[in-house]
Amino acid sequence: MLFVPVTLCMVVVVATIKSVSFYTQNDGQRLIYTPFPEDTDTVAQRALNSILNATIMITVIIVMTLVLVLLYKYRCYKVIQGWLFLSSLLLLFFFSYIYLKEVFKTYNVAMDYFTLAVIIWNFGVVGMMCIHWKGPLRLQQAYLIMISALMALVFIKYLPEWTAWLILAVISVYDLLAVLCPKGPLRILVETAQERNEPIFPALIYSSTMVWLVNMADTDRPKRNSTEAASPQQETQQAVASPAPSSPSQDDGGFTPSWVSQQEHQLGPLQTTEETRREIQQLPSARPPVEDDDEERGVKLGLGDFIFYSMLVGKASAAASGDWNTTLACFVAILIGLCLTLLLLAIFKKALPALPISIFFGLVFYFATDNLVRPFMDKLALHQFYI
């Protein structure tokens, strides 16, 4: 059930890349996180530059993750929430403004400021409401998909070629380490949240069901007498396992340095909730059985995963010489990776990083298809030899 949103996100990104040339143009602008240019004279220089860029980016991400974990540990919730709120504000208004402008330019449509203001205002405000407050589930999911796509587009535009591929590779390794190692920051985060019986993160988590929000609303009610205490308790525990999808931490695309990495590290490895939910459900059977088992089995995926998957497919469609072959191959590879990750999740029942397997397959397929399959197909087509 996660396939539909991931597919949708990727479709949006690929469609935009193919139609709106803005996102594939190289204006020479770069994020401040990737200061080394890639249009250098020698290949060695280029490789060095891209490695340096990737290193800087990853360092920023690691630092931001640590800052986040520290903030969470010392209960500076307000800071985290404010940060997320501002970044989602930026994403919903500013980036969608740019996106709309480019789309209108591409299709040569006249648009006046008044209508544009109404559109952006509506889109942004309803988005903020859906993500941070209460809104219909489908709309919230749609908004999360849209902002993931916007972020992925920003990355595709502003990260130079080799840097992007390197970053993808390194961030999957980092994801693996951060979530699985005992001292990994994300693991610490998950465990701290579990200890405190709180929702993991007011961050970007895409959830396929929304039962949790309702349960959490229940826990806000004042404590009743002891006989009823059991059910709020149960609900609280269930609510723990499902972080409400709140504002996606936004990234301002490097125009101001503050939040890019925060978003990235937040987004990357968050596939924890399934695990905590299962663990809690395996607690002593004194608890009454859960009412709606179907609804609570919603799977959650961090928005960072969406973003990096879409970024991979988008870059493949933007850069590859094999065009649709490569794009489709990467798409299939990512879905297979996602399948495997979900399978592993069901087996291990603990927090798992969602990036490594998919990104690894994606990268392998991309380079293999681009360099091996495409020339092969071209030659076959040239000689009109059908297999």
Partner 1 sequence: MNLERLPNEEKLSLCRKYYLGGFAFLPFLWLVNVVWFFREAFVKPAYTEQLQIKTYVKRSALGLLLWVAVLTTWITIFQHFRAEWGEVGDYLSFTIPLGIP
CB of 286 vs partner 1, minimal distance in Å: 24
Name the minimum Å distance from CB 370 to partner 1: 34
Lookup: tokens for 262: 């925060």
Distances (CA, A) of 70 to 167, 189, 191: 24, 9, 13
- Least distance (Å) between residue 196 CB and partner 1: 24
Residue 305 known to be catalytic: yes
With CA atoms as reference, report the closest residue to 22 among 116, 120, 101, 91: 101
Cβ 279 to partner 1 shortest distance, Å: 23
CA angle 187, 191, 197 (to 5 degrees): 145
Tell me the residue length of the chain.
387
131 Cβ contact list (under 8 Å, min separation 6): 88, 140, 143, 144, 245, 246, 247, 248
The one catalytic residue in 251, 252, 305, 370 is 305
Question: Is-contact 130 144, C-beta < 8 A?
Answer: no
Q: Residue 194 CB, nearest distance to partner 1 (Å)?
A: 24
Residue 208: C-alpha distances to residues 137, 243, 302 (Å): 8, 12, 11
User: What residue ranges bind partner 1 (CB under 8 A)?
Assistant: 101, 104-105, 108-116, 118, 121-123, 125-126, 129, 134-137, 139-140, 209-211, 213-215, 217, 295
Instruction: Say whether 291 sits in a helix, a strand or coil.
Output: coil
Question: What's the token pair of residue 238?
Answer: 């269930």
- What residue has token string 């009412």? 291
In the residue annotation, 323 being an active-site residue is answered as no
Return the number of the residue (76 or 126) whose C-beta is nearest partner 1.
126
| Nearer to partner 1 among residue 217 and residue 346 (C-beta) | 217
Q: What does the DSSP assignment read for 187-233? A: HHHHHHHHHTT--S-SS-EEES--HHHHHHHHHTSPP--HHHHHHHH
Q: Are 250 and 93 in contact (CB under 8 A)?
A: no
Shortest distance, position 21 Cβ to partner 1, whole Å: 14
Distance separating alpha carbons of residues 175 and 167, to the nearest angstrom: 12
Q: Which of 175, 251, 252, 370 is catalytic?
A: 175
By beta-carbon proximity to partner 1, the closer residue of 107 and 385 is: 107
Q: Output 291 or 323, the one with its CB closest to partner 1.
A: 291
Catalogue the active-site residues. 175, 305
